[in-house]
Amino acid sequence: MDIALLKDTAQKMVARGKGILAADESHPTIGKRFAALGIENSEETRRTYRQMFFHSPGIEECISGVILFDETLRQSDDAGTPFPQFMNSKGIIPGIKVDTGAKDLAGHSGEKVTEGLDGLRDRLAEYFELGARFAKWRAVITIGKDIPSDACYMANAHSLARYARLCQEASIVPIVEPEVLMAGDHDIDICDRVTTNALHSTFSQLSEQGVLLDGIVLKPSMIIPGTGSQPVDQETVASRTVDCLSRTVPNEVPGIAFLSGGQSDEDATGHLNAMNALGQQPWNLTFSYGRALQATAMKTWAGKPENLSSASAAFMRRARCNSAASLGEWRAELEQSTE
């Protein structure tokens, strides 16, 4: 375990003005998004699509790291340069999704636990050799009638902590992601309570497993009402989220990179901006977005080679908007900017 490398990588991942691109969709997940646009879901199509992001001019000004799927970590660009090597040449850190998905939690209807610990030590050693310097594991917490249960909190927190310790043993920074899903008709108070419980459980287990907190990045959801509930303004989401984090996240954690979790592109940006407008926090607040960075670019591309340049520009517009939001400097005019 290289402690100096872990700390340095974690700090670079949450560097001011930069965030993380989540491009780690599984084949079925990206296949559904491609199908909706009439795009073929082949290995070459996926490679071409993701290369478009990595080759976007100026990406290194806004993006500190990219979470990759196993396939992408092993692929190369059109010039034959392995993607991890190309990213390193841009000062962008390659990362890797290592969980194998959320499965039904036995004995607890409607709840999930994430799997993927079996064989993880060996996989992490290989991923380090391939160039990955951070990893991601997503836990899923569902709000519903009488759930989440204590068993769900603990099962997911324990798995996250064991994953994180194995990552650090391999000198790979773990992104710790306890996602509270937006699906449901719960209000913002319930989201706050559930997220607080999830974070308390997670940090308790991280401590039990001896995880170095200055060598992780937290990827939480925001405190936001369910999709079937009454929406609230961006300032309320921002203040409630920062308040929750202040109660649950130790100051040693270098940074918090939020997931977008089904928010619109503009809401994900606006909420992040409103949080950073509240002033300096103990941890850098930035983004680790997937759909909120990719959706417009994917629609623009639509699988056509002649659209790659305009799709790249659409991606960079979102990247620059979120970069500004991570500094509390986003404004509506940036949404129309072509620079």
- Rounded-to-integer distance, Cα 138 and Cα 219, Å: 9
Q: Give first-to-last CA distance, the chain, whole Å.
A: 42
Report the sign of the C-alpha dihedral through residues 225, 231, 232, 238, in that order: positive
Q: Pick the catalytic residue: 177, 179, 266, 329? A: 177
Q: Alpha carbon of 69 to those of 37, 64, 85: distances in Å? A: 21, 17, 16
> Phi, psi (5° rounding) for residue 260?
-90, -30
Q: How far is residue 195's CA from residue 220's CA, in Å, rounded to a whole number?
A: 8
Task: Enter the DSSP assignment of 170.
Answer: T
Residue pair 64/322 in contact by the 8 Å Cβ criterion: no
Known catalytic residue at 177: yes
Kindly report whether the peptide bond that precedes residue 148 is cis, defined as omega within 30 degrees of 0: yes
CB proximity list for 266: less than 8 A, separation 6 or greater: 335
What token pair was written down for 150? Answer: 């204590």
Rounded CA-CA distance 168/277 in Å is 33
* Catalytic, out of 179, 219, 235, 304: 219
Whether residue 219 lies in the annotated active site: yes
Half-sphere exposure of 19 (CA within 13 A, CB side): 32
| Catalytic residue annotation | 177, 219
